[in-house]
Amino acid sequence: MAYFEKLKDKGNNVEHAIKIILEEMEDGVIDEDHAELFAIKLDRKVGGSFIIARRERSFKFNGMAIRNILGNFYNKKAHSLISQVIFDNLLRALKEAELDDIAERIRDEWKGDNGPDISASASAGQAYRKKITGLPDTLYIIPNLQKRPTASFPTPSDQGRFPVCTSHAVGKGVVAILEDCGFDITGGQQRVIDDLIQQVQPTKQAEDPDRFNEEIIRLGIKKDGTSFDDVAVKINIQTDYAPSPKPIDASVRKENKIHMILRAEMPSEHAIFAKDYDFERNHYDCINSWGNKVESRPNAKVPRSKVYAVDYIQIAEEVKKN
């Protein structure tokens, strides 16, 4: 089955959105330029594929071109998302591509049985219940023994001239969770970052945080003088795609040892580890990967308006099955 068909099978709300998008395209509402912008807003790799296809002499802008955009969206991102998040992504991309009327038609005509709509203004609690799939039942966090003050919290790092900010942000998330559990890492934070780069971004290519989902890294950790060598740690990423999202409740994050990675415009797309969220000032307090100099903003306050996704990271010890 084609990726386009797999996307339609994600849910009745997604199928409804796709149906209207195709109808509006056939009616001439969506032209090539709007389609290109729509593809880019869905995912930059999807946009890149459309741009390349558009340059071909044989390219024809028709329903198949839109199906290809949607199929690529499934292949690059939507395959790992729940239906409500896909639905929200489609509406967001339409609005950002200046196709607001189509987004409103989709929303107004959707009368499905999936419960109340979750908009960008939904409360943090609603976002947690509806937009995030929930914590995996089989996720076993490294045992939370008594926390000790010598554990290492994430520190500023330097990604240099390569677009490997995501490995830096995910690495800080791993370090932060281990700190929550009272563990230090043999080799420190930079070793975790270097291992992630080698494993996921070996050519220093740009990647989104959800690309690290279900990746397993091997760490040496220690606690109270006891070392644990070659511990296999599995990374779990759950993503809230929304314009200017607020985080899930701090008590939920603390209880379940969840940390946050942002995707933000700073001014170009950038992944950054977030320590916390200031609800009074509406910004995230972050630890950056642009070096230790003050002018490089190692500790950044990122306005919520600049954020277009929050990736929630957890880890679990990967235990070998007999």
Q: What is the pLDDT of residue 169?
A: 93
Strand 226-241 relative to strand 307-317, pairing: antiparallel
Residue 113 identity (one-letter amino acid): D
DSSP 8-class letter at 298: S
DSSP string, 119-170: -TT--HHHIIIIIS----TT--PPP-----TTSPPP---B-TTSS-HHHHHH
The domain defined by 136-317 carries CATH number 3.90.70: yes
Q: How many Å apart are CA 96 and CA 91, to the nearest integer?
A: 9
Residue 209 identity (one-letter amino acid): P
Beta-carbon count within 10 A of 74 CB? 23
11-61 per-position pLDDT tens digit: 899 999 999 999 998 888 999 999 999 999 898 889 888 988 888 888 888
Q: pTM for this one?
A: 0.54
Residues 6 or more apart whose CB falls under 8 angstroms from that of 168 comprise 157, 159, 193, 271, 273, 289
279-291 per-position pLDDT tens digit: 889 899 998 876 5
DSSP β-bridge partners for residue 165: none
Q: What would the two tokens of residue 146 be?
A: 């008594």
In the chain, the percentage of residues whose pLDDT exceeds 90 is 25
With 80 as the cut, is the pLDDT of residue 69 above it?
yes
Among left, alpha and beta (phi > 0; psi -120 to 50; other), residue 17 is alpha
290-316 per-position pLDDT tens digit: 655 433 444 578 899 999 889 999 998
On whether the CB atoms of residues 185 and 152 are closer than 8 A, the answer is yes
* Residue ranges of domains in the chain: 3-117, 136-317
72-95 per-position pLDDT tens digit: 898 888 887 788 888 988 998 999
